[in-house]
């Protein structure tokens, strides 16, 4: 059904999206939690910074990442010299672009899920002798889990679809940074690419619908267990 090249594209896309999800899951949950619960000077600045990729043209985000992580920036040099990590025209650049672009979706979902929690339950747990970290782990997190999970699925789907920042930072190199959307774009530019476009578009649709249905199912299952839905 798919050609070897197309399979490679799908594999790369899944790897990029998976790595991006792994990279942003913990920071995303922590950021969402902080934005929901903490009050500190500079909070609105942090909030704006996290959400910036949602409103900026993705190409601009990609270009800013290119500047920040390129060989000529201090950060890019440190990452290259110490870890041997390159981001420009590299699949790791696609991971960073996807993670930065999808992070706001995850943070918003986590923040909403935490804000919806009944603080009285946490107070009750505290009167039972549970320290704040234990309250977070045994009350807040399990009860917010459906919302957090839905955010993770949404973020994963966003990673799979990332185009503008990816092509700006990581380029369009087959096997390296030619992810699903980048490949679809490339095939539309080729005279004989129609059939490949159809197949990849169909695949994208299938993956997206699967992700949505899956997240709904997981949320409902968790919701039943938790009793909050």
Binding region for another protein (CB under 8 A): 118, 120-121, 123-132, 134-135, 138-139, 142-143, 225-228
Nearer to another protein, 48 or 128 (CB): 128
Contact of 153 with 107, CB cutoff 8 Å: no
* Letter string b/e over residues 146-160, b meaning 16 or more CB atoms within 10 A of that residue's CB: bbbbbbbbbbbbbbb
Query: By C-beta, is 122 or 176 nearer to another protein?
Result: 122
Please state the closest distance from residue 229 (CB atom) to another protein, in A: 11
Comparing CB distances to another protein, the nearer of 114 and 157 is 114
Quote the least distance from Cβ 142 to another protein, whole Å: 5
Nearer to another protein, 71 or 221 (CB): 221
For residue 130, what is the DSSP state? -
Which DSSP helix (H) or strand (E) runs through 100?
helix 91-115
State in angstroms the smallest separation of the CB of 220 from another protein. 15
For residues 172 and 228, which CB has a smaller minimum distance to another protein in the complex?
228
When the beta carbons of 49 and 229 are compared against another protein, the nearer one is: 229
Distance CA 101, CA 3 (A): 29
Taking alpha carbons only, the member of 177, 174, 217, 140 closest to residue 20 is 177
The smaller minimum CB distance to another protein, of residues 60 and 130, is found at 130
Closest CA to 109 of 170, 187, 48, 25: 25
Write down the least CB distance from residue 150 to another protein, Å: 17
Ramachandran region of residue 175, left (φ > 0), alpha (ψ -120 to 50) or beta? left
**CA-based radius of gyration for the chain:** 20
> Which pair of tokens denotes residue 91?
């699949």
User: Are residues 194 and 111 in contact, defined by beta-carbon separation less than 8 angstroms?
Assistant: no
Burial 71-88 (b: 16+ CB within 10 A, else e): eeeeebeebbeeeeebbb
Q: Smallest gap, in angstroms, from Cβ of residue 110 to another protein?
A: 18
């Amino acid at each position: 059904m798919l050609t070897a090249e197309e399979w490679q594209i799908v594999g790369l896309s899944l790897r990029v999206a998976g790595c991006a999800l792994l990279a942003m899951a913990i920071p995303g949950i922590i950021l969402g939690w902080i934005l929901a619960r903490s009050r500190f000077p500079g909070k609105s600045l942090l909030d704006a910074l996290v959400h910036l990729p949602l409103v900026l043209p993705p190409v601009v985000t990609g270009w800013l990442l290119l500047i920040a992580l390129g060989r000529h920036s201090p950060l890019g040099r440190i990452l290259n010299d110490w870890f041997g990590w390159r981001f420009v025209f590299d699949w790791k650049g696609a991971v960073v672009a996807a993670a930065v672009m999808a992070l706001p979706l995850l943070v918003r979902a986590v923040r909403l899920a935490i804000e919806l929690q009944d603080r009285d339950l946490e107070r009750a747990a505290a009167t039972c002798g549970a320290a704040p970290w234990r309250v977070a782990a045994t009350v807040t997190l399990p009860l917010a889990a459906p919302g957090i999970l839905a955010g993770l699925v949404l973020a994963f789907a966003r990673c799979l679809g990332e185009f503008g920042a990816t092509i700006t930072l990581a380029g369009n190199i087959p096997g390296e940074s030619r992810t699903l959307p980048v490949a679809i774009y490339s095939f539309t530019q080729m005279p004989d690419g129609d059939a490949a476009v159809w197949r990849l578009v169909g695949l994208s649709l299938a993956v997206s619908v699967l992700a949505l249905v899956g997240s709904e199912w997981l949320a409902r299952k968790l919701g039943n267990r938790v009793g909050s839905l």
